[in-house]
Chains A and B, each alone.
Chain A
Amino acid sequence: MTVQLNRESAIEDPDRGLVRQATQGSIQAFQQLFERHHRRVYGLVWRLAGNSEMAQDLTQEVFIKLWGNLASFRGESKFSTWLHTVATRVALTELRKNKRWQQVRLTGEAGYADTLEYQESADLSELDQLIRRLPAQTRWAFVLHCIEGLRHEEVAAEMGIAVGTSKAQVHRARMMLEEWLSDDDSE
């Protein structure tokens, strides 16, 4: 009892009230949670997916799945932390099984996606423009470890790979990014 009280008081979660209302079926409360967190979720899934159209689909997918699973949030961590884990998991699962995007690119029918990417590239940071060029697995490991701050063990667990592979992928990403940055500077 004492342990439980201590744990609850230790986690001051500003989303607690909204989560409770949303769990009881309040779409308005859920919308407020969406407004608070969707930018960060979008940023994460954009970097994992590497393009905006997929990132928009994934962000919606994350929140739709979240609505169906709110009851499973037990409040043992902050809602934002939990949401981040859910978003990573949903994004990686969808990206792994979604071959449509690869097929679209291979068959050269990516007109709309290319247009979107061209339009948005001007608004992207230098790092995000380069991240898009990384191979998918390398990009995922780099984003989760270097930007999102997951430990290699956590990255490995999320991606279903060995810890050593995670380290190797991050190293590879760094090498590629440094090389591209050097090229840009020399031009």
Chain B
Amino acid sequence: MTTANEKLARLISEAADGKDTPQPGHDLWRGIEHSISRSGRRRGRWLNWAWASAACAVLAVGLVTFNSMQSSPGTATPQSELLLTVLNQQHEQQRQMLLSHYQTVGWDGKSGYVQQELEQIRASIHEVSEQLIEEPNNRQLWQLLQWLYSKELELLESQFKVNEQLQQV
């Protein structure tokens, strides 16, 4: 065994024992604490926003149902189209916030096996929206739209939960 070989073996042994391990030059906790507090606040803010959106949506559906009872059946009113646009926009915002929240905490959310179901739900939302323009007074269709919105969000969330389990070490 050469001198360099012996010396390397000794240095490796010392390093493996934790001797002279490099140490951080400054406090690293502050940055970590800032980051995890911020992500917690962001999540809280998202949940508040989601509750507020859901409440607005319920109120909006209630209003349109009330209006539809007073207007002639089968007529697409500008209010109902406007409401439909607002609801779809709100849902899209919720969806984007959910995705960005999970991307922030580190998941890419690309589980293949739920993509097909998500696409079907998106297609159904589109179809129901189109149908609502034809039948703005159809209360069941408005309820179906709400149900599809919630199902899409649930499915997105479940996808991340599955991903989380798969990524366990």
Contacts and interface: CB of A to CB of B under 8 A. Distances in A.
A38 B3 CA distance: 35
A42 B4 contact: no
Majority SS at the chain B contact face: helix
B158 to A, nearest CB: 16
Contact of A34 (B12, B14, B32, B39): B32
A80 interface: no
Nearest to B25: A52
The 4 closest A-B pairs by CB, nearest first: A43-B21, A125-B20, A127-B11, A72-B168
Interface of A: 25, 27, 30-31, 34-35, 38-40, 42-43, 46-47, 52, 55-56, 59-60, 63-65, 67-69, 71-74, 82, 85-86, 89, 116, 120, 123-128, 146-149, 174, 177-179, 181-182, 185
B55 interface: no
17 contacts: A27-B33, A27-B37, A39-B23, A42-B23, A43-B23, A46-B21, A56-B28, A63-B32, A82-B169, A85-B169, A116-B25, A120-B25, A124-B20, A125-B14, A147-B15, A174-B8, A181-B4
A65 B106 CA distance: 7
Given A27-B37, A43-B21, A86-B169, A64 B14 contact: no
A39 B3 contact: no
A42 B169 contact: no
Contact of B11 (A52, A71, A125): A125
Contacts of A185: 3-4, 7
A125 B23 contact: no
B4 A179 contact: yes
Given A72-B168, A146-B12, A181-B7, A128 B20 contact: yes
Residue among B3, B12, B24, B167 with the most chain A CB within 10 A? B24
Interface string B139-169: 0000000000000000000000000110111
B105 interface: yes
B123 interface: no
A8 B39 CA distance: 33
Interface residues of B, number: 37
Nearest to A173: B8
A52 B23 CA distance: 9
B165 A34 contact: no
Contacts of B18: 40, 43
Contacts of B21: 39-40, 42-43, 46
A34 B31 CA distance: 12
Contact of B29 (A31, A40, A69, A71): A31
B33 A68 contact: no
Contacts of A146: 12, 16
A116 B29 CA distance: 20
A145 to B, nearest CB: 10
Given A34-B29, A181-B4, A147 B12 contact: yes
B22 A124 contact: yes
A151 to B, nearest CB: 14
Nearest to B7: A181
B137 to A, nearest CB: 46
B33 A55 contact: no
A60 B8 contact: no
B40 to A, nearest CB: 8
